[in-house]
A = this chain, B = another copy of it.
């Protein structure tokens, strides 16, 4: 049985949880606070980051993309990269967009200002950094609206890893009060559909001690 070493508000951990649920892989969860760099985490992943998956035939697997591609290669059920090399390139492009660009510009600043400073540093958030993140958030929501202008899902006509990567990042931003959904009708409709999938819905009741999400966070109709 696999064990996923995760952190509740880590979007990369969330992405892997959704992929495992979609693929029907059973696993147990073990919480890590990545900034503590526990010996156990460092032994499994020298990068000192969540997520890490242990307990399978493959030894600990680190890095969320390596984990997702591993299950895409080994489990046929619920293909998440699409079919055809060009379609798969588009899924991977958008997955990297949310994992890297959206994380760096929006989610990481929100985690720093609203989670890490509050719970770990006991400092107040930097309102200038939050304003920059809010402006970046608006640009990303515009881009999601643009994509959904002629696509049913973010990377095309089928649900894919791009939707999962986006939902994982957005759900953390939403938990931290970073999203004002007004004015983004298509993005909101897409996110409501995504939220209603069992793989994602199952994660939303979870709470991080000391930080409450806004009331709309786990509502399917928000």
Contacts and interface: CB of A to CB of B under 8 A. Distances in A.
Given A58-B86, A63-B93, A93-B61, A101 B47 contact: yes
A65 B86 contact: no
B89 A47 contact: no
A97 B65 CA distance: 11
Interface in A102-157: 143
Interface of A is mostly: helix
Contact of A70 (B62, B73, B85, B143): B85
A69 B85 CA distance: 9
Contact of A93 (B66, B86, B92): B66
Contacts of A93: 61-63, 66
Contacts of A183: none
Contacts of A57: 86
11 contacts: A46-B143, A47-B97, A61-B93, A63-B93, A65-B65, A66-B90, A66-B92, A70-B89, A73-B85, A73-B88, A100-B100
B74 A85 contact: yes
Contacts of A70: 85-86, 88-89
Contacts of A59: 86
Nearest to A143: B46
A96 interface: yes
Nearest to A84: B58
Interface string A38-66: 00000000110000000001110111011
